[in-house]
Amino acid sequence: MQPALIVVTGASTGMGAAAARELARQGFHVLAGVRRDRDADAIRSDGVEPVILDITRSEQVEALAARVAGDPRPLHALVNNAGIQVNGPVEALPMAQWRWVFEVNLFGHIAVTQALLPALLRSQGRVVNISSVGGRVALPTYGAYAGAKFALEAVSDSLRREIAPLGVQVVVVEPGGVRTEMATRGIATANQLAAQMTPAQEERYSGLVQAINTLMASGTASGLTADAAARVIAKAVTTRRPRTRYTIGRDAAWITRLARMLPDRTLDRVIAANLGG
């Protein structure tokens, strides 16, 4: 019997690449979305077929849907993993950056999901949305990133309730600190954006930006490996009766638990203390 298909977006590096390899190891044929030819060459292996996919480009999303529709194998799962991290104070982050974060971290996932839902409905497969602990707790300077992740969580809940009666499951995965390049890129972007702040904004927020960068670097360094995170994603993909949400890492489990238990003002004080405030 031929292996079922799985689509993993954002598979060039990090958790996406690791998840693609892990799912191929478990016997699936993985269509791994990458944006560049050199990334395709790096990920290509037994069971992993790279496809050029920028989830913000409609023609590439349509080409992916045509590739899946033309394959006789069922589509077992879509793993919406692509994403970017852009941090900045709400006052200082340019509107173009807000729109781009939502375009990649929310609207692109919706576009791919819409395009592949006919195949998932036929196979009674599942959608696995890679959110973040930032989809449950919004740290300072995380307004755009957390806003898109909060929205992805809401869309996931709505979608789950829409298509569960049709046999398609929706699962959310919420990583905490994971040792990937995303945090490094996020810190570099935060510093570039901070350099564009007005003098008054710099006076208000420069210390906060640096404290967040330090916290992000520390959390990443002490986080799980991408391979360990990939095993959680694979569990969300393959478990016969999955939970609606999985966390990745002790920090994610701890933070989401605190968010459920503590009043907002108390949680504010906990976050401020961790930032040295």
Domain boundaries, the chain: 5-274
pLDDT of residue 277: 61
Largest pairwise CA distance in the chain: 65
Q: For the chain, percent helix, then strand, then coil, each to nearest 5?
A: 60, 15, 25
116 and 78 Cβ atoms separated by less than 8 Å: yes
d(CA 101, CA 83): 8
Report the b/e string of 157-173 with b at 16+ CB within 10 A: eebbeebeeeebbbbbb
Give residue 155's Cα distance to chain centre.
14
End-to-end CA distance of the chain: 59
Helix spans in 46-198 (H): 58-69, 95-102, 108-123, 143-163, 181-194
Residue-wise pLDDT tens digits, 219-239: 778 788 999 999 999 999 999
- The yes-or-no verdict on residue 162 having pLDDT over 80 is yes
Average of pLDDT values for 108-128?
98
Please name the helix (run of DSSP H) or strand (run of DSSP E) that holds residue 41, with its range, or none. Answer: helix 37-43
d(CA 229, CA 220): 13
Q: What is the mean pLDDT of the chain?
A: 94
Average of pLDDT values for 168-196?
88
Residues designated catalytic: 145
Q: What is the CATH architecture assignment of 5-274?
A: 3-Layer(aba) Sandwich (3.40)
Mean pLDDT is highest, among 127-131, 184-188, 248-252, for 127-131
- The yes-or-no verdict on residue 1 having pLDDT over 70 is no
Residue type (1 letter), 4: A
- The yes-or-no verdict on residue 268 having pLDDT over 80 is yes
For residue 50, the tally of other CB atoms under 10 A from its CB is 22
Catalogue the E-assigned strands of the chain.
Answer: 5-8, 29-34, 48-52, 75-80, 126-130, 169-175, 178-179, 224-225, 245-248
Q: What is the dihedral of CA 178, 183, 185, 190, to 10 degrees?
A: 170
d(CA 268, CA 277): 10
d(CA 93, CA 143): 9
244 and 160 Cβ atoms separated by less than 8 Å: yes
Give the tokens for residue 220: 């990443």
Give residue 132's Cα distance to chain centre.
6
Q: Can you give the pTM of this predicted structure?
A: 0.94
- The yes-or-no verdict on residue 156 having pLDDT over 80 is yes
170 backbone dihedrals φ, ψ, rounded to 5°: -125, 125
Looking at the chain, the whole-number percentage of residues with pLDDT higher than 90 is 82
CA angle 20, 180, 12 (to 5 degrees): 40
Residue-wise pLDDT tens digits, 52-63: 999 999 999 999
